[in-house]
């Protein structure tokens, strides 16, 4: 159950051309959204290395959003398709690591879609709030950090998961 005072921390990567401009537009239009999302500007969503997302979680983020131009509208022609492919793999990996799907989100927002971006931020904030704190770093610190422990835990989790499936 989520703590009533819990305020999720969400890191967002926005591309310079569409989604960062959408954020500018949301601001200029004075559209309100929760202050939980902290934005990083990259030139293209294709720049978002999956390790950026892992790093954000490892440092204590509760959610990560990647925002880019709509498919077919990328400033760099087709780089957001590469983002899409990477995102599919990243989400798969995160699922294996036990992360709920709602903690990562790929959001398309054109430069004209300030209102849509704000709505996505509101939705995601509420979704992550409902999921509760992730607190990855603290979970790790309980273990000794050795590879053996990590593998052992994975094996346990795997066995558990198989049980549920059967």
| Interacting residues toward another protein by CB under 8 A | 7, 9, 11, 17-18, 20-21, 23-24, 26-28, 30-35, 38-44, 46-52, 55-56, 58-61, 72-73, 75-79, 82, 86, 110-113, 118, 135, 137-138, 141
Report the nearest approach of another protein to the CB of residue 163 (Å).
32
138: which residues sit within 8 A by CB, 6+ positions away? none
Helices 114-131 and 19-28 meet at what angle, rounded to 10? 100
Q: Which is nearer to another protein, 141 or 160 (CB)?
A: 141
Q: Which is nearer to another protein, 59 or 154 (CB)?
A: 59
CA dihedral sign of residues 107, 11, 19, 131: positive
Report the nearest approach of another protein to the CB of residue 57 (Å).
10
66 three-state secondary structure: strand
């Amino acid at each position: 159950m989520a703590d009533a005072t819990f305020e999720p921390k969400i890191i967002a990567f926005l591309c310079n051309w569409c989604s960062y401009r959408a954020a500018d537009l949301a601001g200029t239009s004075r559209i309100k959204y929760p202050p939980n999302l902290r934005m990083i500007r990259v030139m293209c969503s294709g720049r978002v290395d999956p390790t950026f997302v892992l790093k954000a979680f490892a440092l204590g983020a509760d959610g990560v959003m990647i925002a880019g131009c709509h498919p077919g509208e990328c400033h760099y022609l087709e780089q957001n398709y590469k983002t899409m492919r990477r995102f599919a793999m990243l989400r798969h990996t995160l699922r294996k690591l036990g992360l709920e799907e709602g903690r990562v989100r790929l959001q398309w927002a054109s430069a004209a879609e300030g209102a849509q971006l704000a709505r996505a931020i509101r939705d995601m904030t509420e979704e992550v709030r409902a999921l509760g704190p992730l607190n990855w770093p603290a979970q790790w610190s309980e273990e000794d950090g050795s590879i053996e422990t990590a593998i052992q835990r994975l094996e346990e989790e795997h066995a558990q998961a198989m049980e549920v499936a059967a």
